[in-house]
Structure 1
């Protein structure tokens, strides 16, 4: 399977600011450099207790980080669907029908309005409840139906994060590896640096060494130097 990224319109679903960079920062850079359109739909953000020296990050800080990441990756647009503490880390309390309708047609970056050719979503095996809710809602929004009535993206991929491996049941290895150049990985690593409230020193799932090590591992599995792993949910040849 080969993809001419210059012809694609990518829509990335990111439960929180930084998930899109952790999961597909390399592909976003690779595709954008080839001439693709890249859009990011964030689902929620709020004040967050974390392991930073300060002990918390505010929604205002996270918005500043999004703007920096947007300029770095040259996104064509981005949107925050459900801002505020009511929904942040509580997406599993939002009825799936409401989240699905937002994704399918109500958001400014909805499937119906944007008509992406490629959709990237978090993997449903994540331990994080917001990631699980996002994955399931996007899956429902992209359900099979008559293509004359509803838009069907040609390629739907679930991206991985290092923390996804924290499961009680086995997690299957990605069945698609996107080859990255060193410049793509460098862009991903710098993108994560821009999320200063969320990046950490090693050992941590969001450290630079973790991201580089995962890229080396996935590349090795495909016989190349660097890669990003994905699970194919739909591929229309």
Structure 2
């Protein structure tokens, strides 16, 4: 499938800041260079215990990182839906109908307002409860209906992250590989470096070597140098 990314309005769902880069940083780089519009809907962020020398990162630090990454990728806009510790790492406790309503209608970047042609969201096989919650809510928001009454993106994709494959349930390989250039892989890696509180040395799921290795693996599966893998939820030709 050949896609003219210059004609697309892409809406990416990121449960937390950095998920969009891990899942589709290469695609965002490629699409923006072609002339696409790219928007990122973050769901939540808060103070987080982590494996950094300091042992935690604050929401304020994470917002500063988002702004650097947004400038790097030249996003057209981004929005945080549910900020604060009440929701961060607790999205599985939020009723799915409430999250789906944010996605469908109430957010400034909702599907009904933005009318994206491409939607990219986490895959439901992630071990992370927030990722699962957003994957299921986006799936609900994409439910079949009369296109005259509700907006339907032409292409709906689920992105992968390296650690998603750790779950024990069987998962198939991504059915869509987006070819990436060395520059696009580099843009993805640099964006993760800008997420300084979340970037780690190897071995770690968010290390440079992990990102480059997964890009090389997906590229090999399509007979190219580098790639990014996606599961196709819907494709209207």
Q: Same fold (TM over 0.5)?
A: yes
TM-score relative to the length of structure 2 = 1.00
Identify unmatched segments of 5+ residues in structure 1.
Answer: none
Deviation at 1:211, TM superposition (A): 0.1
- For residues 93 and 138 of structure 1, the distance between their equivalents in structure 2, rounded to whole angstroms, comes to 16
Q: Deviations over 1:32-82 (max 9, x none)?
A: 000000000000000000001100000000000000000000000000000
Q: Deviations over 1:199-234 (max 9, x none)?
A: 000000000000000000000000000000000000
Which residue of structure 2 aligns with residue 34 of structure 1? Answer: 34
Does residue 128 of the first structure (1) align with residue 99 of the second (2)? no
TM-score relative to the length of structure 1 = 1.00
- For residues 63 and 151 of structure 2, the distance between their equivalents in structure 1, rounded to whole angstroms, comes to 30
Aligned length: 237
- For residues 228 and 167 of structure 1, the distance between their equivalents in structure 2, rounded to whole angstroms, comes to 20
Q: 1:123-202, aligned counterparts within 5 Å? A: 123-202=123-202
Q: Which runs of 4+ in 1 moved over 4 A?
A: none
3-state SS of 1:179 partner? strand
Identify unmatched segments of 5+ residues in structure 2.
Answer: none
Does residue 115 of the first structure (1) align with residue 108 of the second (2)? no
Deviation at 1:168, TM superposition (A): 1.4
Q: 1:1-237, aligned counterparts within 5 Å? A: 1-237=1-237
Deviation at 1:122, TM superposition (A): 0.3
RMSD: 0.4
3-state SS of 1:82 partner? coil
- For residues 38 and 105 of structure 1, the distance between their equivalents in structure 2, rounded to whole angstroms, comes to 18
- For residues 149 and 178 of structure 1, the distance between their equivalents in structure 2, rounded to whole angstroms, comes to 31
- For residues 158 and 212 of structure 2, the distance between their equivalents in structure 1, rounded to whole angstroms, comes to 19
